[in-house]
Amino acid sequence: MTAVKSDERLQRVSIVTKALRRPELGALIGALVIFTIFALVDTTGQFAQLQGAAGWTHFAAPIGIVSIFVALLMIAGEFDLSSGVMVGSAGLLMGNLITEAGMGVFPALLVTLVFAGLVGLANGFLVIRTGLPSFIVTLATFFVLKGVNLAVTKLITGTVRVDGIDTGDGFETARAWFATKVEFGGASFQISVLWWIGFTIFATWLLTRTTFGNWIFASGGDANAARNAGVPVARTKMTLFVLTSMAAALVGCMTLLELRGMQAGQGVGQEFFYIIAAAVGGTLLTGGAGSAVGASIGAAIMGFAAIGIPYALWDQDWVATFLGVILFLAVLVNTWLSKQAKGARK
Amino acid sequence: MNAAKSADPILEMKGVGKAFGNVVALSGIDIAVYPGQVTCVLGDNGAGKSTLIKILSGVHKASEGEFLISGQKTEFNSPRDAMAKGIATVFQDLATVPLMSVWRNFFLGNEPKKWWKPLGILDTKLAKDTAKAELLNMGIDLRDTNQAIGTLSGGERQAVAIARAVYFGANVLILDEPTSALGVRQSGIVLKYILAARERGVAVIFITHNPHHAFLVGDHFYLLNRGRMTASFVREKVQLDELIQAMAGGAELDTLTHEISIIRQD
């Protein structure tokens, strides 16, 4: 078979097309441009240094960890609006298990992750069973949990906060795993950055190198065709709802360990950060295309803004406006790029 | 050709009918499908083609009659049963996921795995090479199997779906109106792949409302009209005109031609 050999002839032609076909290309270019702008307007001389990196990654890592899984779920064609409030729910649950039920930190973490998994399962089950859009189902979960967070916390602690978790068994060990600082080149990075990088690599592998990843793309690309080909679409989506919920819970637990306590309103509103990060990173809102690396780049851009704006001595209140503009421009550029990659036909 | 004809039919329907409540969609259908031959089922809209496909592919159960596979009486409870017996159906637009690459589409639902199987790690190299080689065997020369299948033309997409079904061991390939949404050139491409599948010994059931396309590739022709089998022909013994006449219901077409000619004269 000489035919399979004839690949070399093609590789040369398609390098540009190949690059254009990557969903995260637009985000990468955007990230470089935004990074350069903030480095130029920086007044502290630290933004482009490792100290600056420690700053923006501290902000970006918790967003990145969740947005990676939000992106996978979006590629499969579904949303999870309850992912933000889950950060709060998980932190509060773990905190109360430690302070009120006297559990050790690690058992409390485990119970919290199982709880989050069950909430994710409920989300997935309701979406599949009722056939309602996940936007509505998880919006409902969002509000249910938001109310529970506030009401139950008040009921148990009498305040809107959980405190004193550093008395729990294994607190220092858990902090070393999830909320310590790592010295690197004279700057101290949050350990969450390592988790972020780890999850990015894991999710990329999952998406591009496993059968499950193939099913994720197919479920979001055309659920009917996928079912005809024998792909377990319902199971794939359910699994992703569970993973997204658990990723949010992990971030909630990390935040709890870092702050040694948690407010009842924690996490609310974060769900949009996750969706913005995924969309900026080239994930299609209608499903079927996207990448984990893209979502991480999206989260990094948010980190640039959160640190770069105060470093430039601009009013921090503009961060949200900046993110809004970036979201619009990024999706515009991504759409244009994917059209270029696909050529004239559709 | 003669050797194939003397062989036993791989799939046979005897007096098959289907009723939905008091609506009779099909009745008294007799069809024999042979390996290495193209069996065409022709019919106009509402003739019962869709119902027939659904019985063949296991979506519906026949209400009466016998269904035999390799001479054995069989009943399908689901499309999965039909697939397990080597009956693959390629539906017009539901066969592929447009945003996914050609090789991912080719192996969708049957992904090749490497190392420890339960981990589900894709053997991407094997998948790409196999997809390329298999498509080439069917005469489809793609520059790059990494390109999204949505970038291919409608005919090529059908062809990939056909090649996939053949590769995964389909003995009987049911094609639901594969050419109806395509232009002349694209239809030609699909017809070519129908013959390629036939050459590989697959029994092809080609369902269409286009007698011209059927005449080009068919070995047997069955005509459906209002849920009944109105005629059946064998290649060599039928002319295209006869096929068109029979399909449109002979006398009906004569009347129509006459009426139209009157209008034209005015």
pLDDT beyond 80 at B242: no
With 0-12 / 13-18 / 19 or more C-beta atoms within 10 angstroms meaning exposed / middle / buried, residue B94 is middle
Going along chain A from its start, the domains and CATH numbers come out as 26-335 (1.10.3470)
Least confident residue range of A76-85, A195-204, A242-251, B128-137: B128-137
Residues of B in contact with A212 (CB under 8 A): 120
Q: CB-based contact (8 Å) between B238 and chain A?
A: no
Closest CA of chain A from B150, distance in Å: 8
- CATH number for the domain harbouring residue B193: 3.40.50.300
pLDDT beyond 90 at A297: yes
- Distance of alpha carbon B110 from alpha carbon B112, whole angstroms: 7
Q: Which residue has the higher pLDDT, B120 or A342?
A: B120
**Residue B227 placed within a domain:** yes
**SS (HEC) of chain A:** CCCHHHHHHHHHHHHHHHHHHCCCHHHHHHHHHHHHHHHHHCCCCCCCCHHHHHHHHHHHHHHHHHHHHHHHHHHCCCCCCCHHHHHHHHHHHHHHHHHCCCCCHHHHHHHHHHHHHHHHHHHHHHHHHHCCCHHHHHHHHHHHHHHHHHHHHHHHHCCCEEECHHHCCCHHHHHHHHCCEEEECCEEEECHHHHHHHHHHHHHHHHHHEHHHHHHHHHHHCHHHHHHCCCCHHHHHHHHHHHHHHHHHHHHHHHHHHHCEEECCCCCCHHHHHHHHHHHCCCCCCCCCCCHHHHHHHHHHHHHHHHHHHHCCCCHHHHHHHHHHHHHHHHHHHHHHHHHHHCCCC
pLDDT at residue number B251: 58
pLDDT beyond 90 at B88: no
**Residue B49 placed within a domain:** yes
Least confident residue range of A64-78, A115-129, B20-34, B111-125: B111-125
- In this structure, are residues A59 and A303 in contact, taking their beta carbons and an 8 Å threshold? yes
Q: CB-based contact (8 Å) between A2 and chain B?
A: no
Out of B97, B109, B121, name the one closest to residue A210 (CB): B121
Question: Alpha-carbon dihedral of residues B38, B42, B46, B49, nearest 10 degrees?
Answer: -10
pLDDT beyond 60 at B4: no
Closest CA of chain B from A203, distance in Å: 13
> pLDDT band at residue A120, thresholds of 50, 70 and 90?
very high
Q: Could you tell me how many residues make up chain A?
A: 346
pLDDT at residue number B221: 84
pLDDT beyond 60 at A317: yes
Q: Show the domain range for B52.
A: 2-96+169-265
The predicted model gives A185-194 an average pLDDT of 85
- Distance of alpha carbon A130 from alpha carbon A136, whole angstroms: 11
Closest CA of chain B from A334, distance in Å: 15
pLDDT beyond 70 at B95: no
Rounded to 5°, the CA angle A98-A100-A106 comes to: 15
Q: Which residue has the higher pLDDT, A129 or B96?
A: A129
The predicted model gives A121-143 an average pLDDT of 92
Q: CB-based contact (8 Å) between B133 and chain A?
A: yes
Q: What is the largest CA-CA distance in chain A?
A: 76
Predicted TM-score of the model (pTM): 0.80
pLDDT beyond 90 at A72: yes
> pLDDT band at residue A183, thresholds of 50, 70 and 90?
confident
Residues of B in contact with A228 (CB under 8 A): 91, 94-95
Q: Which residue has the higher pLDDT, B133 or B248?
A: B133
pLDDT beyond 70 at B261: yes
pLDDT in tens, B104-139: 888 887 777 788 777 778 787 888 888 888 887 776
Map tokens 């773990």 to a residue: A94
Q: Number of structural domains, chain B?
A: 1
Residues of A in contact with B109 (CB under 8 A): 226, 229-231
pLDDT in tens, A222-266: 888 887 777 888 999 999 999 999 999 999 999 998 888 888 888
Amino acid (1-letter code) at residue B247: M
How much is the mean pLDDT over chain A?
Answer: 85
pLDDT at residue number B3: 41
Residue of B nearest to A1 (CA): B133
Token digits of residue B210: 């286009």
pLDDT at residue number A6: 45
pLDDT at residue number B253: 64
- The closest of B200, B127, B109, B128 to B162, measured between CA atoms, is B200
